[in-house]
Each structure stands twice: as C-alpha cells, then as structure tokens.
Structure 1
Amino acid sequence: MKTFIITGASKGLGAAIAKRCMRTSDHCILVSRTAHPEMERLAGEFGTKLTSISMDLNETDKLPSLIIEILAAVDEKSDIYFINNAGVIEPIKPVGNLGQVNLETSMRVNFMAPIVLTDEFVKLTRDWNRKKVVVNISSGAAKNPYHGWAAYCSTKAGLEMFTRVAGSEQGKLPFPTSLISFSPGVMDTEMQGTIRSADERDFSNRDKFHEYKEKGMLRSPEFVAEKLLQLIEVEDLENGKFYDIKNLL
C-alpha cells in the first residue's frame, strides 16, 4: 500500500502531484488552505481513498496536532511518501524593504512549517518498519542568490541544510526515513505569475522570467510531478541529497 501526504495540494505542483497520485496510490492525504474541486472526482474515478485537511501552515502552533491527525489516518501496512510542497515567493523586495510581517510569513511557511512537520513525522514514525520518504520541495534559490529574493533564498537554503543534516542522522537508525530536497526548476505556475508581475526595481531579473514564459521554457507541473514520483518510488534515494530535476531529464 502507498499513502501520499502532500501540502499545498490545491494548486501548482502540489495539485499536479496529487492528481497523479490519485491514479497510482491507495490513499492521498491533501493539506491546503482551500480545497481543489477536482480531487474528489478523481478519487471516486480511480477508487483512491482521499483525506482532505484544511490548514494554513502559517499557523505553526497547530502543526504538531496536524501530524498526529495525518498519521492517525495512515494504514499500519502502508508505505508513506510525505511531500512538503507548500511555499510562498513573497516578499519580492530588496533588503531594507522586506518588512517584518512579510518576513515572518515567509519564514513560517517556507521554513518553520516543513521542518516542524518533518521533525514531528520522524519522531512519531521512528519505530515504523516500512518505507518512509520525506521530500522537501526546494529551489535553485537554495543555492544561488537572486536580487529581491532574500526571504525566499534564505528560507530555501535553510530548509536544504536541514534536510541534509536530518538525512545524515537517519543513516544511523534501525528504521530510517529517507529525506531529500527536490528542485523542480522553473514551472508554469501561479508563483511564476507573481514573479513576472514584480516591480523591476524590486526584482532585477524580472525580464528573464518573462522570457521563460514567452519562449515556452517553463515546464508543466504535470511533467515535474511525473519525474518526482518516478524518483521517489523507483530510485534508491541518497539520504539528505539535493536532487535537481535537470539531472533527471
């Protein structure tokens, strides 16, 4: 049996992963602020169990109880694939104009939420002798600085290092969890639209992202979802590794 847990599952890459998982898994647990109307239809069509949980990951005090709720729904014989996908690109501003409120939201959603969820997941499943995979969706911004992306680059870099450390620790345990970072590259999503609409004074590379769109250089979320699922379901994962989609093509 396979259970997929996906955060940020109502749009973009998260929705694409969820739709594909409906066809191949036994149970999908989807976490998002809003529901995706197509998910129930797909679950019925393919006979997949669907659990939808409404949750704003910005509310970090609720995350430990969220994991308890999620794991209570997982069958005791099921392998588990946990994909921390939810994220925000804002604020797109140079340092000095970020603002504390925007920074705190970015830190909570992009960094605190996935590391708290991962920490609680590892703690509560450490005695579960089955396949357990945690994927933290990363970005090239985790390794490269971009003008105006101080918040996004910093949170993704922190999450990538957290994943590396956690992965190295798991190798010493009897029933390890495999933890990886996955960079999906540039995709045709709502987040890309937000990037293209940024003020050029705030994001000096804006024209480059317009060029990606105009020249058809953006990958579809469906294509990226397919490559990610092939990776985590088939390959022997290196714990703590940063996987870039460019190396999977």
Structure 2
Amino acid sequence: MKRLWRFGFKVNWHIGGEKNMKTYIITGASKGLGKAIAELCLQEGNHCIFVARSANEQLIDKARSQGLKVSSILADLGDSGQLPEIVDSIFSKIGDTDELLLINNAGVVEPIKPVGQLEQNKLEDSIKVNFLAPIMLSNAFIDRTRGFPGKKTIVNVSSGAALRPYQGWAAYCSTKAGLEMFTRVTAAEQDQEQYPVTIISFSPGIMDTNMQADIRQADEKDFAHAEIFHAYKEQGRLRSPELVAEKLMALLQDGPLENGRFYDIKNLL
C-alpha cells in the first residue's frame, strides 16, 4: 500500500490484489445520467462517491443494504465558494483503491435566451456548473493524485453543442466548448507526466431527462430549435439514461482510451 499525505489528511492508495477496486466520483449523481452511471458502478461492487444538490436516498439505502461502499456529498456546484470544501470532502472519503475515476456529469442548459436577453444570475450559474466546477474538480483530482501510479480517468460529459452553435444556447454551447478545449489541453499536458491522467469528453446525445424537459419548456422565440426537440420526445427518439450509461461504462472498461478525444454516443451504438 502506498500512503500519500496531502493538505492535512491521509489518502490510502492500494495497488494490486485479487480484485481491481475502483473508486468513482460522480457529480450530478442523484438523477438522470448520473444516477444511471452510479447504479452500474455499484453493481460492480465499487466505491462510489456521489456529489449532488440532493441525495438519492433510495439508491444509497439499497447500496448499503447490500454491503456496498457509497459516500454522498450534498453540494451545489453553482456555488463556487463551496468548491474547496467539496474537494476536501471528496478526497477525505477515498480509501484503498486501484483505480480512480472522476465523472463530471452535472450540468445545466439554462439560460435559453438569445444574446442580449441573458439574465446575469442564470448566466453565472451556467458558467459555474458547466465550466468552472468541472475544471476545478479536474484540477484538484490531477494535483492530489499526482503520485498515484494506478489508472486515473476523468470523463467530462459534453454535448454536440460543444462543437456547433444552436440559437438560444449561447451559454450552454460556450461553456461546453470551453470545457472541450480544457479537456484537450489537459490531455496534452498529461501525456508528459510520469503517472498521467486520461481525460476524455463524452457526448451522450439526446436523453430522456429533466434537461430535455427544460428544453421543451423553452419559448420558441428564444430557442429556434424548440420544435425539433418536441419532436424527439413525441417520436420516441430520446435515449434512456440507462442505455447511455451502459455505453459509457463499456467504453471505460474496454479501453484503451485516446487521451483528449471527444467520444460521441452515436459512434458507440
């Protein structure tokens, strides 16, 4: 066992042994894609650390009743002042492990408004949740695991909006595009490290989640593609979070991953 002391607390890394013990850190884990990923992680018997504004008590109770290790951190990633405390809380809960994965899943689509009508408070929340929080969590993950020789992976849940513009989605497209470039730069840097972190973008496509419901509620004068998204729901074209989670987990397990790559669900089906 290798012991790493940092920032006033001890983190234990365990390398080797019969079972490959993984630790997953999942943001936005209480619902949607985050919840679906969490359920699969727990099925494998891994340690899961959930970071979300609300706890999914049913999932947590089920995991603990089966003797599985689960930690839950209640946090609002839109409150940037909480981030240092969130980071400390996450790393205080990591025990013996062979592999570490950070899945930056939490995200917001609002504000859905054309430029010139963006509300500052909603714009700031978009920047903090979609861009600042995953950057700061990734930064801390890389810093605090620098001496860990085991496998380390960061998944930034992205979107096709990171690569192309949608009218009314200036905030969402811009924050996702910024996170995409952050992923690429970080990958290039990590290729030079002794114990590198693999970092990728993963686009889940259109899913039947609360975010899609928010999109359908947008005023058509604010979002030029509103009718298209209504059609996705009416025609049954929205993928289930469970299917998307299965494809992501298969991607992570099958490997090897190309560092810095943008993985699109459409190419994994």
Q: Give the aligned residue type for 1:33.
A: R
Q: 1:91 aligns with which of 98, 108, 111?
A: 111
Pairwise CA distance, 1:100? 1.5
Pairwise CA distance, 1:39? 1.4
- For structure 2, list consecutive stretches of 5 or more residues without a partner in the other structure: 1-20
Q: 2:254 aligns with which of 219, 223, 234?
A: 234
Q: 1:28 aligns with which of 40, 48, 52?
A: 48
CA contact (8 A) 1:22 1:42 kept: no
Rounded Cα–Cα distance in structure 2 between residues aligned with 1:171 and 1:161: 16
Pairwise CA distance, 1:20? 1.4
Q: Give the aligned residue type for 1:84.
A: N
Pairwise CA distance, 1:231? 0.7
TM-score (norm 1): 0.97
The superposition leaves residues 28-47 of structure 1 with CA deviations (integer Å, 9 ceiling, x where unpaired) of: 10000001122123313543
Q: Give the aligned residue type for 1:225.
A: A
Q: 1:135 aligns with which of 146, 152, 155?
A: 155
Rounded Cα–Cα distance in structure 2 between residues aligned with 1:11 and 1:26: 19
Rounded Cα–Cα distance in structure 2 between residues aligned with 1:246 and 1:38: 31
State the partner residue of 2:133: 113
State the partner residue of 1:82: 102
CA contact (8 A) 2:23 2:97 kept: no
Between 1:139-148 and 1:55-64, the stretch displaced more is 55-64
State the partner residue of 1:50: 70
State the partner residue of 1:65: 85
Q: Give the aligned residue type for 2:119.
A: G
**What secondary structure, in the 3-state scheme, does the structure 1 residue paired with 2:117 have?**
coil
Aligned residues: 249
Rounded Cα–Cα distance in structure 2 between residues aligned with 1:241 and 1:24: 26
**C-alpha RMSD of matched pairs (Å):** 1.1
State the partner residue of 1:183: 203
Rounded Cα–Cα distance in structure 2 between residues aligned with 1:229 and 1:25: 14
TM-score (norm 2): 0.90
**What secondary structure, in the 3-state scheme, does the structure 1 residue paired with 2:205 have?**
coil
Structure 1 consecutive aligned stretches of length 4 or more whose deviation exceeds 3 Å: none
Q: 1:207 aligns with which of 222, 227, 241?
A: 227
Q: 1:223 aligns with which of 231, 239, 243?
A: 243
Rounded Cα–Cα distance in structure 2 between residues aligned with 1:127 and 1:40: 31
Rounded Cα–Cα distance in structure 2 between residues aligned with 1:26 and 1:6: 12
Instruction: Kindly indicate which of the two structures has a greater share of residues assigned to helix.
Output: 1
State the partner residue of 1:7: 27
CA contact (8 A) 2:87 2:137 kept: yes
2:214 corresponds to 1:194 = yes
Identical residues among aligned pairs (%): 56
The superposition leaves residues 100-147 of structure 1 with CA deviations (integer Å, 9 ceiling, x where unpaired) of: 111111100100000011011101111111111100000000001001
**What secondary structure, in the 3-state scheme, does the structure 2 residue paired with 1:229 have?**
helix
**What secondary structure, in the 3-state scheme, does the structure 2 residue paired with 1:34 have?**
coil
Rounded Cα–Cα distance in structure 1 between residues aligned with 2:65 and 2:180: 37
Rounded Cα–Cα distance in structure 2 between residues aligned with 1:43 and 1:138: 28
Q: 2:265 aligns with which of 236, 245, 249?
A: 245
Pairwise CA distance, 1:26? 2.2
Pairwise CA distance, 1:23? 0.3
Between 1:170-179 and 1:33-42, the stretch displaced more is 33-42
The superposition leaves residues 51-109 of structure 1 with CA deviations (integer Å, 9 ceiling, x where unpaired) of: 00000001112213322221221123331111000010000000000021111111001
Pairwise CA distance, 1:211? 0.7
The superposition leaves residues 159-191 of structure 1 with CA deviations (integer Å, 9 ceiling, x where unpaired) of: 000001001111111101110000000000010
Rounded Cα–Cα distance in structure 2 between residues aligned with 1:6 and 1:36: 13
Q: Give the aligned residue type for 1:85.
A: N
Are the structure 2 counterparts of residues 230 and 45 from structure 1 closer, same or farther at C-alpha, using a change threshold of 3 Å? farther
